């Protein structure tokens, strides 16, 4: 029998065509870096004024409470005393949407399944006013260092960190009110130079399989009527809409919202919110 050879490597034009098929009218993106004010430590207006006096030009991000685009800065903001004091976190504007959608409160027991470097963990702590409990997981020890450093820098006090695989979340023997799964993914071309030359369908499918395993683990750790936000910085349907469809078919969950953000002023991002029905 003659074997069919499938070319898993895709050219840039083929990737862009699939994005247009998903509804994106392609234009060259110009994403701006962004920050989130840490209101646990400073009032938003006070930080904006301090940075303005140093020549930093900020623009408020719509649909995000404490986010600002960095339109101009005469120096690296990570070198400022304000950064070292934890007054802000350098975090892409679109990525800040995941915690806004999950909307954890101080009454919640929250799980962050893939937490490092801590942007979303610290954002959840901020939203919860450093109350309630967040359990943050990180498998790689070198990434664990970054997570712990950022928790300390931002003076987060309501987080417990475990050095375990997120696929082992059910082994914690806890059921969570809210779960954030910011899953490992293929990324996208606005995040990484030479992205098109490095990616193929085989790698995308491997990532999609890992994400399915993480979604299954998240379901097992979620309370009935609990909420889970699934997020990636991938633009690939295998890792986004297809995984959401799989999750709803395999488990008693309902998708109650989703957002696909195409690269423009922000990097590309995808998120979907689910509720466990039983």
**Model pLDDT, residue 1:** 38
pTM value > 0.85? yes
Alpha-helix runs per DSSP H in the chain: 12-21, 44-53, 81-84, 97-102, 119-127, 141-153, 195-198, 201-220, 241-250
Domains of the chain from N-terminus onward:
34-90 (3.30.70.1170), 97-276 (3.40.50.150)
Are 58 and 51 spatial neighbours (Cβ–Cβ below 8 Å)? yes
What is the model's pLDDT at position 4? 36
Predicted confidence at residue 9, as pLDDT, reads 78
Residue 31: CA count within 13 A, CB half-sphere:
20
Per-residue pLDDT at 8: 66
pLDDT per residue of the chain (278 residues) written in tens, 0 to 9: 333 334 567 899 999 999 999 999 888 899 999 999 999 999 999 999 999 999 999 999 999 999 999 999 999 999 999 999 999 999 999 999 999 999 999 999 999 999 999 999 999 999 999 999 999 999 999 999 999 999 999 999 999 999 999 999 999 999 999 999 999 999 999 999 999 999 999 999 999 999 999 999 999 999 999 999 999 999 999 999 999 999 999 999 999 999 999 999 999 999 999 999 99
Q: Of 154, 185, 233, 244, which one is the catalytic site residue?
A: 233
User: Residues 257-262: contacts with CB within 8 Å, 24+ apart?
Assistant: 257/101, 259/97, 259/101, 260/22, 261/94, 261/97, 262/19, 262/24, 262/29, 262/235
Q: Catalytic site residue 114?
A: no
Please report the pLDDT score of residue 3 as a whole number. 38
DSSP string, 104-139: --TT-EEEESS-TT-HHHHHHHHHTTT-SEEEEE--
């Amino acid at each position: 029998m003659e074997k069919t050879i499938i070319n898993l490597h895709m050219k840039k034009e083929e990737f862009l065509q699939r994005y247009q098929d998903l509804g994106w009218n392609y234009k060259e993106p110009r994403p701006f870096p962004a920050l989130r004010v840490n209101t646990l430590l400073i009032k938003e207006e006070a930080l904006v004024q301090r940075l303005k006096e140093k020549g930093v030009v900020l623009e408020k991000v719509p649909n995000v409470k404490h986010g600002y685009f960095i339109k101009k800065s005469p120096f690296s903001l990570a070198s400022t005393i304000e950064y070292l004091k934890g007054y802000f976190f350098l975090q892409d504007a679109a990525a800040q949407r995941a915690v806004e959608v999950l909307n954890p409160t101080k009454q919640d027991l929250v799980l962050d399944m893939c937490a490092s470097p801590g942007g979303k963990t610290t954002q959840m702590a901020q939203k919860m006013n450093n109350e309630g409990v967040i359990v943050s997981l990180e498998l790689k020890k070198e990434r664990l260092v970054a997570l712990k450093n950022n928790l300390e820098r931002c003076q987060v006090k309501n987080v417990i960190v475990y050095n375990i695989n997120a696929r082992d979340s059910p082994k914690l023997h806890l059921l969570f009110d809210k779960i954030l799964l910011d899953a490992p993914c293929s990324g996208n071309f606005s995040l990484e130079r030479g992205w098109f030359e490095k990616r193929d369908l085989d790698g995308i499918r491997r990532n999609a399989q890992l994400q399915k395993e993480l979604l299954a683990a998240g379901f097992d750790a979620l309370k009935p009527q609990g909420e889970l936000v699934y997020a990636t910085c991938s633009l690939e349907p295998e890792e986004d809409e297809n995984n959401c469809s799989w999750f709803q078919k395999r488990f008693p969950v309902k998708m109650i919202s989703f957002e696909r953000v195409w690269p423009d002023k922000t990097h590309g991002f995808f998120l979907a919110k689910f509720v466990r029905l039983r």
